[in-house]
């Protein structure tokens, strides 16, 4: 069950492989007045994980506890709430998947000093559409935005266009523009 089905507000997930621009876009959306929830920070800060995966250098989220906590945090918030996380599609009513060409993604993750193994895992996930496929499986409304070579401000404009379309109930044109499955980077697998 998704949060918006429980409460009268809308939950939008901003998701994508690490390095696709979620946090940069989310910070700008917050400046534009949207209620933001940074799920990765929440999981770390409130210990909402079941284990630490040392081999993959990541936390394994306890999604039942995460879901309960998110319900507590956004239950009374009016309007649009946006969840920033590569796992947001497991919670949100509407999902916007940020995508980046594998070569650009590799560069971005190198700048973050990710290990070679973690870079390859994330680049492979992007090539195979892992987050997009999960989003389509979990959510009724999924949109896809290419962030390759784009400024965060431009991506924010796309996100706001999608939100406006969804809120108006007339999102057919927006869906056509941001239809999932528009990008094929499967050739980027080494």
Q: Which of 113, 123, 98 is CA-nearest to residue 26?
A: 98
State the average pLDDT over residues 109-134.
94
Q: Does 7 score more than 60 pLDDT?
A: no
State the average pLDDT over residues 132-161.
96
User: Is 112 labelled as part of a ligand binding site?
Assistant: yes
User: Is 44 labelled as part of a ligand binding site?
Assistant: no
Q: pLDDT class for 190, splitting at 50, 70, 90? A: low
User: Is 24 labelled as part of a ligand binding site?
Assistant: yes
Q: Does 150 score more than 70 pLDDT?
A: yes
Query: What pLDDT is recorded for position 58?
Result: 77
Q: Does 3 score more than 60 pLDDT?
A: no
- Segment 159-166 long-range contacts (CB within 8 Å, at least 24 positions apart): 159/14, 159/25, 159/29, 159/96, 160/29, 160/32, 162/94, 162/96, 163/12, 163/80, 166/10, 166/12, 166/94, 166/141
pTM, full prediction: 0.87
User: What integer best gives the mean pLDDT of the chain?
Assistant: 88
Query: What pLDDT is recorded for position 9?
Result: 73
Query: What pLDDT is recorded for position 141?
Result: 92
Query: What pLDDT is recorded for position 21?
Result: 96
Which domains are delineated in the chain?
3-181 (3.40.50.300)
% of residues, the chain, pLDDT over 90: 56
What is the per-residue pLDDT across 60-100, written as a single tens digit (0 to 9) for each?
A: 888 889 888 888 888 766 778 899 998 888 888 899 999 99
User: Is 69 labelled as part of a ligand binding site?
Assistant: no
User: Is 23 labelled as part of a ligand binding site?
Assistant: yes
Query: What pLDDT is recorded for position 6?
Result: 42
State the average pLDDT over residues 5-18.
77
């Amino acid at each position: 069950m998704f949060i918006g089905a429980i409460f009268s507000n809308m939950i939008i997930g901003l998701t994508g492989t690490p390095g696709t621009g979620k946090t940069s876009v989310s910070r700008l959306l917050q400046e534009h007045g949207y209620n933001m929830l940074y799920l990765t920070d929440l999981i770390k800060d409130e210990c909402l994980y079941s284990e630490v995966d040392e081999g993959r250098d990541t936390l394994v989220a306890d999604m039942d506890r995460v879901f309960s906590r998110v319900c507590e945090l956004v239950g009374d918030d009016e309007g649009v709430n946006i969840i920033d996380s590569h796992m947001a599609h497991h919670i949100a009513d509407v999902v916007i998947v940020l995508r980046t060409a594998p070569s650009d993604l590799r560069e971005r993750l190198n700048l973050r000093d990710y290990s070679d193994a973690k870079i390859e895992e994330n680049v492979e996930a992007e090539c195979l559409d892992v987050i997009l496929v999960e989003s389509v499986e979990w959510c009724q409304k999924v949109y896809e935005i290419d962030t390759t070579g784009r400024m965060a401000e431009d991506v924010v404009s796309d996100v706001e266009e999608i939100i406006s379309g969804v809120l108006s109930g007339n999102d057919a044109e927006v869906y056509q523009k941001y239809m999932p499955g528009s990008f094929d980077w499967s050739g980027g697998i080494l």
